[in-house]
């Protein structure tokens, strides 16, 4: 058996009420789904026995996603389409299993990520504020750490900003880099943006983690 057969990458999305689940709650829900799917999963080490799974970066509370993933470790090979079929019947509303594939050595590192922000039609105040916020490398993002906090400039976190149209909604497609010392993460930046919008926040309808980039 090859290493890739023992490790499968499960790609899934999160929308609806599932965006308000914490990362730990999502991990518990998906672990239970794996058990119910009766897959030959490996067991994790430690006090609490659960399927051995590695998850992608935590999804910030309130953000939807088209690019969540988990690495599932199996004791024996199972056809990826069969894994997708079984898991799809066990995950709750708000989770959708998009694909299951053998784990590749060329997976994106997670250091480059794309977000899409969707605005109510005609919401030019919220749209313009967001674009200006993300275009300012000197904009400071407050990073709270325990009882203290740190201010980090946006700096080179934003790689590109593109205006796109999806139906009648105004949208911004923003590519970020993260995982670099002194640069806030994409999730922190988007959360800070939403907090600073004030009443215009109601016009920001979509906050979506859209893709991990190579």
Q: Measuring CA to CA, how many Å separate 196 from each of 13, 171, 202?
A: 27, 18, 12
Cα dihedral sign, 166-171-175-179 = negative
Q: What does the alpha-carbon distance between residue 45 and residue 125 come to, in Å, rounded to a whole number?
A: 51
Of all residues in the chain, the percent with pLDDT exceeding 70 is: 98
Q: Tell me the β-bridge partners of 161.
A: 174
Give domain limits for the chain: 3-102, 112-212
pLDDT digits (tens, 9 = 90+) for 116-128: 999 999 999 999 9
pLDDT digits (tens, 9 = 90+) for 152-161: 999 999 999 9
Phi-psi sector, 146: left (phi>0), alpha (psi -120 to 50), beta: left
For the entire predicted model, the pTM comes to 0.91
Which class is 112-212 in CATH?
alpha beta
pLDDT digits (tens, 9 = 90+) for 5-57: 589 999 999 999 999 999 999 999 999 999 999 999 999 877 778 899 999 99
Cα diameter, the chain: 57
Fold annotation for 3-102: Alpha-Beta Plaits (3.30.70)
């Amino acid at each position: 058996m090859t290493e890739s057969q023992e490790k499968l990458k499960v790609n899934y999305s999160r929308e609806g009420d599932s965006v308000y689940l914490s990362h730990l709650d999502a991990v518990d829900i998906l672990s239970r789904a794996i058990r119910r799917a009766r897959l030959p999963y490996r067991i994790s080490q430690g006090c609490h026995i659960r399927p051995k799974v590695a998850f992608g970066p935590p999804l910030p509370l309130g953000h939807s996603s088209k690019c969540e993933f988990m690495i599932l470790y199996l004791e024996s090979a199972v056809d990826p389409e069969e894994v997708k079929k079984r898991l799809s019947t066990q995950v709750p509303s708000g989770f959708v299993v998009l694909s299951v594939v053998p784990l590749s050595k060329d997976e994106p590192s997670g250091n480059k990520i794309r977000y899409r922000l969707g605005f109510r039609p005609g919401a030019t105040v919220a749209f313009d504020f967001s674009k200006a916020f993300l275009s300012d490398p000197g904009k400071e993002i407050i990073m709270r750490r325990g009882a203290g906090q740190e201010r980090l400039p946006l700096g080179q976190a934003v790689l590109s900003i593109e205006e796109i149209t999806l139906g009648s909604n105004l949208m911004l497609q923003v590519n970020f880099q993260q995982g670099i010392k002194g640069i806030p993460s994409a999730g922190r930046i988007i959360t800070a943006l939403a907090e600073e919008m004030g009443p215009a926040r109601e016009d920001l309808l979509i906050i979506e983690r859209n893709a991990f980039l190579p």
